[in-house]
């Protein structure tokens, strides 16, 4: 029997905010709020828990260039506080806010594709090893 839902790329579906199973339903109901389920295939999104992953990636890859820009403005141009606010402020907003949704979608789609689950410790597993 053929699988009605072939595996889809988590990058292609997640970045576009689409269902990781069918690739047609929407993943988000708001900017970062996940739907309860896919309106097309009915996939329950309760498995998804990207936690602080999107924020971590944004901090690592977007905030560092902002800090470098701020330091460069201060050292090379002796920029005033107001210049720092009006230059680095919008730069920070533009590099931090837009990537959050695609990153969250990618992480949710990756959790589905790779069947990621919360880690569990079991005393039974320890007993089986002995």
Alpha-carbon span 55 to 79, nearest angstrom: 29
Q: Tell whether 107 is covered by a domain.
A: yes
Q: Tell whether 127 is covered by a domain.
A: no
Q: Tell whether 40 is covered by a domain.
A: yes
Domain around 101: 10-116
Q: Tell whether 126 is covered by a domain.
A: no
Alpha-carbon span 69 to 71, nearest angstrom: 6
Please tell me which residue, 2 or 59, carries the higher pLDDT value: 59
Q: Tell whether 92 is covered by a domain.
A: yes
Residue 117: pLDDT band (50, 70, 90) is: confident
Residue 113: pLDDT band (50, 70, 90) is: very high
Q: What is the pTM of this model?
A: 0.81
- Burial of 79-101, coded b for 16+ CB within 10 Å and e otherwise, reads beeeeeeebbeeebeebbeebbb
Residues 20-49: tens digit of each pLDDT: 999 999 999 999 999 999 999 999 999 998
Q: How many domains does the chain have?
A: 1
Residues 47-100: tens digit of each pLDDT: 998 889 999 989 888 888 899 999 999 999 999 999 999 999 999 999 999 999
Q: Tell whether 5 is covered by a domain.
A: no
Q: Tell whether 1 is covered by a domain.
A: no
């Amino acid at each position: 029997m053929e699988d009605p839902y072939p595996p889809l790329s988590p990058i292609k579906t997640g970045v576009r905010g689409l269902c990781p199973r069918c690739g047609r339903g929407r993943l988000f109901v708001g900017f970062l709020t996940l739907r309860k389920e896919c309106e097309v295939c009915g996939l329950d999104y309760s498995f998804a828990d990207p936690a602080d992953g999107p924020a971590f990636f944004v901090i690592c890859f977007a905030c560092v260039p902002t800090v470098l820009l701020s330091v460069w403005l201060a050292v090379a141009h002796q920029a005033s506080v107001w210049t720092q606010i009006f230059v680095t402020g919008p730069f920070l907003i533009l590099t931090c806010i837009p990537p959050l949704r695609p990153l969250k979608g990618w992480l949710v789609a990756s959790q589905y594709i790779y069947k990621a689950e919360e880690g569990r410790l079991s005393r039974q597993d320890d007993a089986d090893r002995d």
